[in-house]
Amino acid sequence: MANDIKLIINFMKKVFLLLMTVTAMLSCSKDNSQTVDEKKDCLITTVDMGLKDEGILHLKYDSQNRVSQVKFEMDETDWGGKHRMLEYNISYTSNNVTIIGDESALFTLDSKGRIIKSVESDSGEHTYIYNSEGFLEKIISKGNTDHVFTYLNGNLKSYVNDPYNIFTEYDLNNPYVPYSYDITQQSGIIQYAYGIVLYEQGYYGKKSQNRVRQISGSGIGGGKHDYSYIQDEKTGKMKSVFINQKYDSSTDLERINFTYSCD
């Protein structure tokens, strides 16, 4: 009888070990079913404006995941222009950001790492002022009227550079999408290719919290631009941003596409 009990106990131990092994294998199998992007950190490597004359940003990063090079590709052959590839190399210190390439620029940083002064080869010298919440409030340019930014609930509400203005509305239920909206470009004094890169990295202070839904105003020709978004259902990463540009006499659709590199 004792031997029978021992046999039963040993059998139950083996069954238990077998069940544990199967459970572990199933757990590993479930983990392996995740996509590569779900497991890994990804960086945006291209921002494609969808129309070849609008341009494509090609981004490279340094060891600290800061953008170290921007190539801005434009094809204007349909309009009698050229296929161009502008290149900008970006270097960083605690006090400055330097741009060297097809155009040059030197940005001076404050103690919080924000740009407070810039000297650019194509647009001169500018001073940047931030509000108490850390948002870019004003750009002062010699010989020009000030560029003024106002905010509401953590989002850019309006931009004014008399007589031009731009007003922005948001989807308050969703977070801001990188590279979908560049407030530095509104001023028209900061080169887009590296301006938007520095903005996305926080060098122009805090960014808006929420997803842009619509922009309007005289600064975009009096029309309205409606934004919509497509995300990858598996990874949650943004695939495309659609901008429906509506004017009195025309309607244009712009599409921004993103590609990623994952470690």
Instruction: Read off φ and ψ for residue 220, nearest 5 degrees.
Output: -120, 30
| DSSP SS3 for 245 | strand
Task: Select from 208, 205, 195 the least CA-distant residue to 169.
Answer: 208
- pLDDT, block means (10 residues), the chain with 263 residues: 42 36 35 43 90 79 97 76 86 98 96 96 90 96 89 96 93 95 74 90 96 94 94 91 92 92 85
Task: Select from 184, 194, 206, 177 the least CA-distant residue to 67.
Answer: 194
What would the two tokens of residue 211 be? 């997803």
Q: How many CA atoms are closer than 13 Å to the CA of 49, on its beta-carbon side?
A: 15
229's enclosing H/E stretch is strand 224-231
Cis peptide bond N-terminal to 163, omega within 30: yes
Give the start-to-end residue ranges of the domains of the chain: 1-33, 36-262
Query: Residue 212: how many CB atoms within 10 A of its CB?
Result: 23
The pLDDT of residue 121 is: 86
The pLDDT of residue 181 is: 86
The pLDDT of residue 79 is: 60
Instruction: Give the ranges where 71-191 is alpha helix by DSSP (H).
Output: 183-186
Amino acid at position 27, single letter: S
What CATH class does 36-262 carry? mainly beta
What would the two tokens of residue 206 be? 């805090």
- Determine the Cα angle at 135 with ends 158 and 188, to 5°: 55
Q: How far is CA 233 from CA 36, 95, 125, 142, 239, in A?
A: 14, 41, 44, 48, 10
